[in-house]
Amino acid sequence: MTGFGRFLEIMAAEPEKEPDNPVEIGTLGGEIEFENVCFSYKSKDNPGSTKVIKDLSLKIRQGRTVAFVGPSGGGKTTLCHLIPRFYEIDSGAIKIDGIDITCVNRKDLRRNVGIVAQDVFLFAGSIKDNIGYGRLGATDDEIIEAAKRANIHDFAMSLPNGYNTEVGERGVKLSGGQKQRISIARAFLKNPPILILDEATSALDNITEMQIQTSLEELSKGRTTIIVAHRLSTVKNADEILVLTANGITERGTHTELMEMNGFYSHLYSFYN
């Protein structure tokens, strides 16, 4: 009955509203701008709201790698989810290449955004199917090339059924590192101009994280990349690092600049290293 109740809940959900005359965008360049953005979580159970982002203004230049660090609850992941419009902002504007994202169809917008998250969702299908989900209609050669770039090809070829090996419900037959590599292969196949890495290695052990990090650095090249991480070793090479707290952006700069400030980032980095 629980499953049926959830089914009814999904069927009753209102479809996402789209603009009447959407702007045709094709492939975006990837410059992102937040203009006085405010966002609060709201729910039916809680008529009030919890303000997470307050009057945030920020520009991320095309092709740059920007990392967000800071305490839990500061709005790092929420900020990332606002870009593909998983949530709607309360006020302000988010623009990509100068275009307000509310003027664009969500399908077109999300086609330009790739996400590698901590919790990888795999379907009950083959390795090939799960990589191919990154871009429907991709050829076998394109899927294999993406797998090679994500360093999952050799593993797939070592299996009796190769790329046709079933991964099980939610990838239960694979390790955390293997699932993450499939997620990275999806992103390589999709080849989006904007990439979001949301705690992409936080669930992995240190050795696997180091191996995965090489693939993520390769994936980030040539595209606008936003990194959310608690492990500061994964963000020290970013073009810019921003400390995001409940009070907004409190520090920003390169790793070297932030270490010289002797503030939150410096103390946190020194504590874990």
CATH of the domain at 138: 3.40.50.300
pLDDT band at 76, cuts 50/70/90?
Answer: very high
Q: Residue 12: is its pLDDT beyond 60? A: no
Taking residue 133's Cβ as centre, other Cβ atoms within 10 Å add up to 18
Contact yes or no for 205/11 (Cβ under 8 A) = no
Residue 174's domain spans which residues?
121-191
Has residue 69 been placed in a domain? no
Q: Residue 90: is its pLDDT beyond 80? A: yes
Q: Residue 106: is its pLDDT beyond 70? A: yes
Nearest alpha carbon to residue 23 among 98, 93, 91, 80: 98
Has residue 186 been placed in a domain? yes
Q: Residue 11: is its pLDDT beyond 80? A: no
Q: Residue 7: is its pLDDT beyond 60? A: no
Contact yes or no for 178/152 (Cβ under 8 A) = yes
- Which alpha helices (H) appear in 112-229, and where do they start and end? 127-132, 140-149, 153-158, 176-190, 206-220
Has residue 147 been placed in a domain? yes
pLDDT at 185: 93
pLDDT at 255: 95
- By the 10 Å C-beta count (0-12 exposed, 13-18 middle, 19+ buried), 230 is classed as middle
Share of the chain above pLDDT 70, in %: 90
pLDDT band at 10, cuts 50/70/90?
Answer: low
What's 272's DSSP letter?
H
pLDDT at 94: 97
- For the CA atoms of 231, 234, 240, 242, the dihedral, rounded to the nearest 10 degrees, stands at -10
Has residue 93 been placed in a domain? no
Share of the chain above pLDDT 90, in %: 56
- For residue 87 the two structure tokens come to 């949530």
Half-sphere exposure of 93 (CA within 13 A, CB side): 11
Has residue 7 been placed in a domain? no
Has residue 158 been placed in a domain? yes
- For 242-267, the pLDDT digits (tens) are 999 888 999 999 999 999 999 999 98
pLDDT at 187: 92
Q: Report the DSSP beta bridge partners of residue 59.
A: 33
pLDDT at 215: 84
pTM of the model: 0.88
pLDDT band at 63, cuts 50/70/90?
Answer: very high
Better-predicted residue by pLDDT, 166 or 119:
166
pLDDT at 4: 59
> What is the total count of domains within the chain?
1
Half-sphere exposure of 230 (CA within 13 A, CB side): 11
- For 208-221, the pLDDT digits (tens) are 778 788 888 888 98
Has residue 40 been placed in a domain? no
Has residue 152 been placed in a domain? yes
